[in-house]
Amino acid sequence: MANQPISERRLAANRANAQKSTGPRTAEGKLRVSQNATRHNLYSGPHRLPEDIEARLYLIGRCIRPPSPPGSRPSSPRPQVPPGP
């Protein structure tokens, strides 16, 4: 669809409607809508993993390193990952 200029009438209607759509104005309304992301979409679930899983993932991440150049030695031994449940 090509960009065509809109009529003065439509422009006036858009501007009048925009004045009505300003979002929440009261503190209560602002607090209520600030929680939308925690009720819908990606952020609706728990934000943290259980501690034991988080600890294992941290250790696994420390074990994953870029490959060393040939002939070099690692500066420290790799940490041991605890066995799963």
The rounded mean pLDDT for the chain is 78
Of the two residues 27 and 66, the one the predictor is more confident about is 27
Q: Which amino acid is at 6?
A: I
Least confident of 39-53, 55-69, 71-85: 71-85
The answer to whether residue 7 scores a pLDDT higher than 90 is yes
Of the two residues 43 and 19, the one the predictor is more confident about is 19
The answer to whether residue 66 scores a pLDDT higher than 80 is no
- pLDDT (tens digit per residue) in 40-53: 666 666 667 788 88
